[in-house]
Amino acid sequence: MTFPHKIYDNYSLLQKNTLGLPSTARYYAEVGSVTELRCALAFAREKHLPVIPLGGGSNVVFGEFLDALVVHVNLKGKAVLSRDRDCVRVRAEAGENWHELVLWSLENKAYGLENLSLIPGTVGAAPIQNIGAYGVELKDSFVSLEAMSLESGLVEYFDRQSCDFGYRDSVFKREKRDQYVIVSVTLDLDATLKPNLGYGQLGDLLARRLGNQAPSAVDISQAVCDIRREKLPDPSEVGNAGSFFKNPEVSQLTMDRLKQEYPNIVAYQIGRNWKLAAGWLIDQAGLKGERKGRVGTYQKQALVLVNHGGATGQDVLSFSSMIQRKVNEMFGIRLEREPRLYMDDIGKIPRHRSRDQDNQDAI
């Protein structure tokens, strides 16, 4: 088989992950079309290697050597598919930058993504953890996606139901993990702005800026960007992967216990359960701004782990385990990591066999 685009071996991923971790991929390919993607997957099948799809690298922790084919998904294109009085349907290819899609949607008078401004990464990764911020999630506007099966090389269609989105979660983190490369996403956006300002800090900032005047979508987007720039480290300056842990969800019973001991605990009711602010738990455990060697928590937001320079994936992993242990000791709560770890578990990623290998076995 011939591979029309370049596949690099022993490729450094240092510039390809926002934590800035040193890592080498055994093979690396950048794909700009479905055909190139199919060829890259065939290459991995032939070499009997696992495939790791990569977007902006803003939600991954890499070990020092990845015995895999890392496929940088770089399919480009975005379009308005239809528009009526209520709804603007848009489609974007997986390699588009998420924040640029948000800005483009606003230019096209299509609303609903403004609270998701400035989230790093690509469109194709957005459904993986159902990205969310300031009270809005991808699933609120999601219609469908197309994804190539690593097994068959065929492009399959997933509607909202089959993605089974949850809080920073989807079927692609569970039952269908490591089985697909997302190639495009279709969203239904609003033709008129329906501001979602329920998130305290956002509403407050806009009220200070605009008084009683109703905010435009651009006002909201700019406010979100300003709050984020103020509070979060810019990965181009300080290596980080955003929130390192998910906010844990606990039962009413656990909440009652915690509230008795910690009356100021920061928590939000969701249905019958409570969502605890993981950043607050870490802060209370005395770990805000903590540093161990080359890794630490960010001064302004304890939920963000930062690479102070020269850290490895193992350093990050050890530091995060220490946080999990201390929070568990203090509150009896187990924090779950949010970014995907590609460390020693790479061997567990399924490898797909080429037809030639199957035929050889059959002889």
Q: Which of residues 136-165 bind ligand FAD (CB under 6 A)?
A: none
Q: Does 126 bind ligand FAD (CB under 6 A)?
A: yes
| Among ligand NAP, ligand FAD, none, partner that 247 touches (CB below 5 to 8 angstroms by kind) | ligand NAP
Q: Which of residues 211-250 bind ligand FAD (CB under 6 A)?
A: 232, 235, 240-242
Asked if 330 and 29 touch (Cβ cutoff 8 Å), the reply is: no
Asked if 66 and 342 touch (Cβ cutoff 8 Å), the reply is: yes
- Number of other residues whose CB lies within 10 A of the CB of residue 345: 10
| DSSP codes joined into one string, 156-214 | EEEEHHHHT-BTTB-GGGTTTTTSEEEEEEEEEEESS------SHHHHHHHHHHHTTSP
Q: Which of residues 286-305 bind ligand NAP (CB under 6 A)?
A: 301, 303
| Among ligand FAD, ligand NAP, none, partner that 277 touches (CB below 5 to 8 angstroms by kind) | ligand NAP
Stretch of 44-52, 106-114, 192-200, 215-223 lying at the interface with ligand NAP (CB under 6 A): 192-200
- Number of other residues whose CB lies within 10 A of the CB of residue 67: 14
Confirm whether 38 is a catalytic residue: no
Q: Does 268 bind ligand NAP (CB under 6 A)?
A: yes
73 Cα distance to chain centroid: 14
Q: Does 102 bind ligand NAP (CB under 6 A)?
A: no
Q: Which of 200, 286, 289, 332 binds ligand NAP (CB under 6 A)?
A: 200
Stretch of 56-64, 259-267, 277-285, 306-314 lying at the interface with ligand FAD (CB under 6 A): 56-64
Instruction: Tell me the residue number closest to ligand NAP, measured at CB.
Output: 242
Give the Cα-Cα-Cα angle 195, 241, 49 (nearest 5 degrees). 120
* Residue 242 C-beta: closest distance to ligand FAD, Å: 3
337 DSSP assignment: B
Asked if 11 and 27 touch (Cβ cutoff 8 Å), the reply is: yes
Confirm whether 338 is a catalytic residue: yes
Confirm whether 82 is a catalytic residue: no
Q: Which amino acid is at 222?
A: Q
Nearer to ligand FAD, 73 or 90 (CB): 73
Kindly state the number of chain residues that form the binding site for ligand FAD, as judged by CB under 6 A: 34
Residue 56: CB partners within 8 Å, gap ≥ 6?
A: 18, 97, 98, 120, 121, 122, 125
Between CA 320 and CA 312 the distance in angstroms is 13
Q: Which of 168, 170, 184, 290 is catalytic?
A: 168
Q: Does 53 bind ligand FAD (CB under 6 A)?
A: yes
Q: Which residues bind ligand NAP (CB under 6 A)?
A: 132-134, 198-201, 231-232, 242-243, 247, 268, 275, 277, 279, 301, 303, 338
Looking at the annotation, which residues are catalytic?
168, 243, 338
